[in-house]
Amino acid sequence: MTLVEQQILDHLLALQAAVARMSTATPKPDLLPIFLRLDELTRQLPPGTEPDLLHFLHRKSYQKACALLQQRQRGTI
């Protein structure tokens, strides 16, 4: 896993945590900085990046992107 991919995974996990807090948090977490950073990191991915990962990130399928990166981190794919 590349550094950028690890950073994307870290931000995806932060997004999941922030969304989980939405119903009870006061004030509500500001998700915009996370979305902006994910877009920025996606643009930094090098040529040859796994097409499925790019597809998920470009389509904002963040749960699928997170699952794919977690599988890669564990070495199961």
* Side-chain half-sphere exposure of 1, counting CA atoms within 13 A: 20
pLDDT of residue 77: 67
Based on the structure, what is the number of domains in the chain? 1
- Structure confidence by residue, pLDDT tens digits, 31-55: 999 999 999 999 999 999 999 999 9
Residue 58's pLDDT band (cuts 50, 70, 90)? very high
Residue 26, pLDDT above cutoff 80:
yes
Q: Which residue matches tokens 């996990």? A: 13
Whether residue 33 is preceded by a cis peptide bond, meaning omega within 30 degrees of 0, is: no
Give the residue numbers spanning the domain of 33: 3-74
63 and 3 Cβ atoms separated by less than 8 Å? no
Mean pLDDT of the chain: 95
Alpha helix (H) residue ranges in 22-77? 32-44, 51-58, 62-74
User: The whole model's pTM is what?
Assistant: 0.92
